[in-house]
A and B are shown apart, each in its own frame.
Chain A
Amino acid sequence: MTTLVDVQGIEKNFPLSGGGNYLALKGIDLQIRKGEFVSLIGHSGCGKSTLLNMIAGLDQPTGGVVLLEGEEVKRPGPDKMVVFQHYSLLPWLTVSENIGLAVDEVMPQISTAERAAVVEDHIKMVGLDHAKDKLPLQLSGGMRQRVSIARALAIKPKLLLLDEPFGALDALTRGNLQEKLMQICNENELTAVMVTHDVDEAVLLSDRIVMLTNGPGSKIGGILEVDIPRPRQRLTVVHHPSYYSLRSEMIYFLNRQKRVKQWQAKPHKVLARHGLEKVNLDLGFVPLAACAPLAIAEAKGFFQKHGLDEVQLVRETSWRGVVDGLLDRTLDAALMPSGMPVWMTAGGHGGDPVPVVSSLTLSRNGNEITLAKRLAEQGVSTVEDYRSWLRGHEREPHRIGIVHPASMHNLLLRYWLAANGIDPDQDVHLQTLPPAQMLADLKDGSIDGYCIGEPWNYRANREGHGVPIVGDLEIWAGHPGKVLGAREDWALAYPNTHIALTKALLEACRYCADPNHWPEMSALLSDRRYLGMKAELIHFSAQNNPGDGFAPHGEPHHLFFGAGLNRPSRTEHLWIMTQLARWAEIPFPRNYVELLERICQVAVFSTAARELGLEEVSWQRQSIELFDGRPFNSEDPIGYLNAVSLHRDFSVAEIAIGVPRAMAA
């Protein structure tokens, strides 16, 4: 594929009337391939139209350059046509005259017959045969916009630029026009860049979606690849699991931009009291049964007891929110999947490595793999059945939902599949999806199954959409589930706070481990501040409901507290490191000993446990052995990696994490 448009290091500074400058865009790099459809999305004022104008040559960057086929774009021209929200048709000319005028301007040399053919073809293309002699005023808004698209395309531009082309139309007309535009783009292999704030429009039409952050100094905050095959149809694309997950990603991105702005608008003072460096904490979590220790610590006053007067629990809808909250420091610490400290420390999130520490394992177990009911109906009840069923259905896509690449769900699912002769990348496709969507997709038949924590397996089973095929107890009983994680620079800046937080949550873990408290915890978590669903759907163990068919694969399920359960384990984090490297999520760190020493804050845990009089829980766990009986040799992780039957081409690399440094207050 050849690059048609090359946006290199664009910066745009506007002089302000009262003196000074407004920096609209900064450091924008974007390559657009020939035939590609790219959308630009972001909040009002993020500079998306400014960027489009610079690609069109209607405006000049103050830094960087835009190249069209290698030539610098300096002025507008017929090779890059823009369609605006407001049609800009000449009201005294008919549809065919409006289009004809553009053709005359750009192609004066063509014959009358050729001209007539060009005009007619393009009127046909947008389906306005019957209206070609009408004036713009006699047309609906949607029809007018089709005329302006026809006019733009009639002069055969190399690049079609669209600035919120359907923004002025009602939602339903917009839908019809989007399909028309998509069809035209497909048939004519057009290259197009579109500014929009409509997330459905972006997913439906685009090959890639470029998300811009809020200004000043807007930059590209993320690029989404839309992996939905073409030709697309509005009603079939919504059944592709990527549709709603991409839509959720964009909504998440836009909401996050809004939240960060609100967060920045408020003062954030560090409140030091009771000998603690900071007592006002924002703690992130994701609504899952395993968030119980945080909810209990709040409800039972464990935070206050340990001097943390002003703790806010921040509900994130996805683990992505936790990652972003730590990256931009809007969160102090968070409940996170046990793989996340290693993953972030090794730069798995795609940026510079960010050392993240863990002083406490908050939960163990609690995960299951659920397969769709339709598979069960075809006799799939074991992994062997699933393997042979896959062989017989090779042509269909086989997607399995996971919540995050750094989660134990992903690692256990992959381990289990691989050990049973199913390649987790070749034979199936693992896709990160929001939990609620997983259940909807399971019902819809667009995924084969998922691996997730509670309450989503119980719900699928109870609502008749899925059947649990294997529990984590049969893969690795007692595996770490969720951990407390914080940035290393945060932990170094607030060491006593870190210990107090660990104490509060360790006490909460002890509370959560008592089966007598489970009904209370279910009721608490059912509140909309946490899970927002009926208490009867929230289970911590199968013991609650014997005989309802759930969790047939062993019990107890969640473990919150006990000897060796809560102490952060270097061996476990090392195992996680090998698995993340095995599936090429991160390189295997050559300096893994250093990383482990920094990640596992055993001293913080031990101090907390000792001060609570809970020394007995500080006991070191046994060695790791999963269901296939392959022992994990923590003395030789690379040897272990090379010996596993299935792995991607992993690399071994030094991860530069610098010297430990405290965050500036």
Chain B
Amino acid sequence: MTTTHPATAAPPAAGGPPLLRFAGLGKTYPTPKGPYTVLENVHLDIAQGEFICLIGHSGCGKSTLLNMVSGFATPTAGAVLLNGKPIEKPGPDRMVVFQGYALLPWMTAYENVFLGIDSVKPNLPKSEKHDITMEHLELVGLTADADKKITQISGGMKQRVAIARALAIRPEVLILDEPFGALDAITKEELQEELLKIWNTQKCTVLMITHDIDEALFLADRLVMMTNGPAASIGEDLTIPFARPRSREDIMEDPLYYEVRNQALDFLYNRFAHDEDEA
């Protein structure tokens, strides 16, 4: 009798260039007191299909970093390369989900998702747009709530709509900026589990900012930890070794859980401890 072993984490890209590459990325803002460097010398390669969590104290330049991936900001040094080409402006190949949802509140869940598709692929037949909308609402478990207005649904449901909208455009990279930070613990856990399921079926590449070590341990292939600003860079790139599909209980049964968790705690509260007053 044979049994299959659980599949391990997504392998790094063999040979070819990574999907996303941060090549000596830096960002300096001019200020009245002189130039202020937020990020300096950031190097990171992300393979197609990887799930990366980025963690760091407030003020470490995480959002600046995301803004350069999404194309809302341009680097002052180095570059972010997607499939080998520098990112210069926003595009549907990279979709961002924010903590504050950024949905249009006067519209329904359906209309929010539909609008996203419509703005990226205006020439698609309406029936196809409809199908894609419904497919993605189903993916996040909102079929029954499609016609509810954003103001009528809970925070967890709003975040589901935002995820559906982002995925409906079929981005190569899904960028999540603390997507679950505002949710209560139980909703947060549910959404994390759903996100993993979606990531498994869609095989998209995820870059997620979080403040929560346990969230990263549950979700990510790698936990990238940033040093404190100014001139922040990547301090440690920790591989999360747990087999997939994961369950919270299973990972706690792995002795490595305690080691990896303590290592991340040590980085954030000891080696790069941070006092918020200085921010």
Contact = CB atoms under 8 A, between A and B. Distances in A.
Interface stretch (B101-109, B158-166, B179-187, B191-199): B179-187
Given A127-B277, A170-B181, A528-B243, A175 B269 contact: yes
Nearest to B247: A528
A502 interface: no
A140 B253 contact: no
Interface in A426-472: 434-437, 439-441, 443-444, 459
Given A173-B58, A173-B276, A251 B252 contact: yes
Given A248-B252, A437-B258, A171 B276 contact: no
B152 interface: no
Most buried by B among A171, A244, A443: A171
Interface in A153-202: 170-173, 175-176, 197-198
Given A170-B211, A532-B253, A440 B258 contact: yes
A304 to B, nearest CB: 17
B275 interface: yes
Chain A contact residues, majority secondary structure: helix
Interface in A330-381: none
A104 B212 CA distance: 40
A444 B6 contact: no
Given A170-B58, A170-B211, A317-B249, A244 B258 contact: yes
Given A44-B186, A130-B277, A523-B2, A436 B257 contact: yes
B239 interface: no
A443 B259 contact: yes
B5 interface: yes
A439 B252 CA distance: 12
Interface in A129-151: 130-131, 140, 142-143
B255 interface: yes
Contacts of B270: 235
Interface in A504-538: 520, 523-524, 526-528, 532, 534
A115 interface: no
A443 B256 CA distance: 10
Interface in A95-138: 127-128, 130-131
Contacts of B184: 44, 197
Nearest to A520: B1
B269 to A, nearest CB: 5
Interface stretch (B11-19, B142-150, B260-268): B260-268
A226 interface: no
B34 to A, nearest CB: 23
Contacts of A459: 255
B211 A171 contact: yes
Q: Lowest 9 A-B CB distances belong to which pairs?
A: A440-B258, A170-B211, A439-B255, A171-B211, A440-B255, A171-B212, A436-B253, A436-B255, A527-B3
Interface of A: 43-44, 127-128, 130-131, 140, 142-143, 170-173, 175-176, 197-198, 234-235, 238-239, 244, 248, 251, 255, 287, 299, 317, 434-437, 439-441, 443-444, 459, 520, 523-524, 526-528, 532, 534
Given A317-B253, A528-B6, 5 more contacts: A172-B58, A173-B58, A238-B262, A437-B258, A532-B6
Interface of B: 1-3, 5-6, 57-58, 178, 181, 184-186, 210-213, 243, 248-250, 252-259, 261-262, 265-266, 268-270, 274-277, 279
